[in-house]
Copies of this chain bind each other. A is one copy, B any other.
Amino acid sequence: MESTVDLQGDFHVYDTTLRDGAQQEGLTLSVADKLTIARHLDGLGVGYIEGGWPGANPKDTEFFRRAVHELDLRHARLAAFGATRRPGVRAADDPLVGALRDSGAGVVTLVAKSHDRHVELALRTTLEENLAMVRDTVSHLRAEGQEVFLDAEHFFDGYRDNRDYALEVLRTAYEAGASVAALCDTNGGMLPGWVADVVHDVVETTGVRVGIHCHNDTGCAVANTLAAVDAGATHVQGTINGYGERTGNADLVSVVANLELKLDRQVLPQGLLREATRTAHAVAEVTNVPPAGRQPYVGTSAFAHKAGLHASAIKVDPNLYQHLDPVGVGNDMRLLVSDMAGRASIELKGRELGFDLSGDKELLTRITDRVKELESRGHTFEAADASFELLLLEEVEGGRPAYFEVESWRVITETRPGDEAISEATVKLRSEGVRYVVTGEGNGPVNALDQALREAIGQAYPEVAKFELIDYKVRILDQGHGTDAITRVLIETSDGESTWVTVGVGHNVIEASWGALVDGVTFGLRRQHVT
């Protein structure tokens, strides 16, 4: 699939999930999380990925250090976010500016105050010095060979209070070499008509290249972004799943889908918008924020229809009852009663894993039915490729590899005052004809079970010694239903070279974890034995 659009050209799709999205209440991303999300964003084909603020905190510094070496971006350029120099120092001498310069990012997005009252009350400096801060910092970074975008903070409020000054900030940045001035509705209070008027005026008056950065405080972030584009903005900022502070940022997928599918403006590489649903859900698994079923375009309910009344008319012409074909965003039409994925997506997924299912309609139907049934009980195969591959194996080859057969397990966790808790697990299983009863200890019940399981299997399969549980995520489904809730566990296992993710489900978190552990070890063993 080749890019037919220049992602760093006439129109920019600029993602700030890793920086502004991470401001969302309750959302915390590790460096590894950020690297994973960056890969998903690149797979969607965005033009820019804002990775964070190097120098402002050790995590973001570390992210850029690793990103430069570890990310092999096909589509996107990496942008570092940071502020203009502090008042009264040279840009070259400001250590925070230095961190941006040395981040390894080809683009720096500089946030600058454009609202006069913020300059005075928050920065506590003069309007003139603020302009100098913009000018010096942009010039310095340009001279060091970086592309510079300006984020004009509180621009719309500033424009209302002091239009001349707000415009002067943009002009100053532009003349110093910034290539885009993104107008930020930082407090999120704008409506589409107002955004259109301001953007129009900025484009007409200053001639700068305008970008737009919206928040959803009026419920209009997507519409405000589109209004800005209609008025001349050629750079849109947003986040996956609309993550962000307060009510969130503009949902980048909705913005892009509206541009491509409604307004016939191609802004991602040809065909990549079809990755939108997969990307949105995969990112949600990393952030551990439950995806919103009602989310436009990518929500599980977005193309769901209560069958009853409409069913026959839907069969005649589904487009009578949907605003567009969900295939365009990688989603599926669903008639409620059934659940989730269609056969087409299972076939695609199978192909991705090396199974050609296209020739056997019956097999495909059987797998699809089983996936639907399991997902209705809380499984998710979107983020758990390894469990899905084991399921395919069961159906295609008539069973999963039988490296071991579990008889029972038990795990005890206890504590005494002043001591850390300790967990002890006993696993009974048969492997290669021998029965093992093994007890393992660990920092937690899952760790103890993992130790015992791998020690028991390790007699026959010593290679499991190098398997390591490197991530563990728990989500309660059916929130609000207390003790009847279903627990879903995702476990990531590593063999030192690659990693894989498995899923387990159950009323009991330990049982769900056990299911994911067993899948994880089975998958790892199969990989060793097949390749």
A residues touching B (Cβ–Cβ < 8 Å)? 23-26, 28, 30, 32-33, 57, 117-118, 121-122, 154, 187-189, 191-193, 216-224, 226-227, 230, 242, 245-248, 251, 254, 257-258, 262-263, 288, 290, 292-297, 299, 301-306, 310, 312-313, 316-317, 320-324, 336, 340, 380, 382-383, 406-417, 420-423, 442-447, 468-480, 482-485, 487, 490, 506-511, 514
Contacts and interface: CB of A to CB of B under 8 A. Distances in A.
Contact of A246 (B25, B222, B301, B490): B301
Given A191-B262, A192-B223, A420-B506, A479 B471 contact: yes
Contacts of A263: 191
Nearest to A289: B480
A382 B317 contact: no
A412 B415 contact: no
A383 B251 CA distance: 23
A296 B25 contact: no
A219 B189 contact: no
Contacts of A227: 192
B302 A217 contact: yes
Contact of A219 (B122, B218, B254, B506): B254
Contact of A292 (B23, B121, B292): B292
Given A26-B380, A26-B382, A217-B296, 18 more contacts: A23-B306, A28-B477, A32-B480, A117-B317, A122-B310, A218-B262, A219-B221, A219-B254, A219-B258, A246-B301, A288-B473, A407-B416, A410-B413, A412-B412, A420-B506, A470-B480, A470-B482, A472-B485
Contact of A187 (B321, B408, B509, B514): B321
A25 B320 contact: no
A218 B487 contact: no
Number of identical protomers: 2
Interface of A is mostly: mixed
A66 B474 CA distance: 26
Contacts of A407: 416-417
Contacts of A340: 57
A336 B25 contact: yes
Q: Which 5 A-B pairs have the closest CB atoms?
A: A189-B323, A223-B223, A410-B414, A421-B511, A474-B474
Contacts of A245: 301, 304-306
Contacts of A382: 25-26
Contact of A413 (B242, B299, B323, B510): B510
A479 B30 contact: yes
Contact of A423 (B122, B444, B508): B508
> By CB atoms of chain B within 10 A, which of A191, A227, A299, A304 has the most?
A191
A244 to B, nearest CB: 8
A490 B251 CA distance: 27
Contacts of A490: 26
Nearest to A416: B408
A233 B113 CA distance: 39
A216 B482 contact: no
Nearest to A223: B223
Given A187-B321, A218-B258, A420 B476 contact: no
A450 to B, nearest CB: 9
Given A219-B222, A469-B482, A445 B510 contact: yes
Contacts of A473: 288, 474-476
Given A247-B296, A446-B509, A507-B443, A479 B475 contact: no
B217 A487 contact: no
Nearest to A423: B508
A121 B470 CA distance: 42
Contact of A477 (B30, B121, B477): B30
Contacts of A230: 193
Contact of A414 (B248, B313, B408, B477): B408
